[in-house]
């Protein structure tokens, strides 16, 4: 089974604010697993999100 991250772990990993994971979920931009009131994020889903969010620099 793939590793799951808590919102706190995700925000620390990406160096973003604590509410950021919740905002991305609410906007429908970041998939998560919800177990009762607890949400978790799959590492591969985070990698896919980051790849989709990548901006190519024009020269």
Task: Tell me the whole-structure pTM to 2 decimals.
Answer: 0.83
CA distance 54 to 40: 23
The predicted pLDDT at position 1 comes to 75
The predicted pLDDT at position 59 comes to 77
pLDDT digit string, tens, across residues 8-49:
999 999 999 999 999 999 999 999 999 999 999 999 999 999
CA distance 45 to 25: 12
pLDDT tier at 53, thresholds 50, 70, 90: confident
């Amino acid at each position: 089974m793939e590793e799951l991250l808590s919102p706190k772990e995700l925000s620390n990993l990406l160096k973003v604010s604590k509410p950021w994971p919740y905002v991305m979920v609410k906007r429908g931009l970041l998939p998560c697993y919800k177990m009762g009131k607890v949400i978790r994020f799959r590492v591969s889903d985070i990698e896919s999100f980051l790849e989709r969010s990548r901006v190519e620099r024009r020269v």
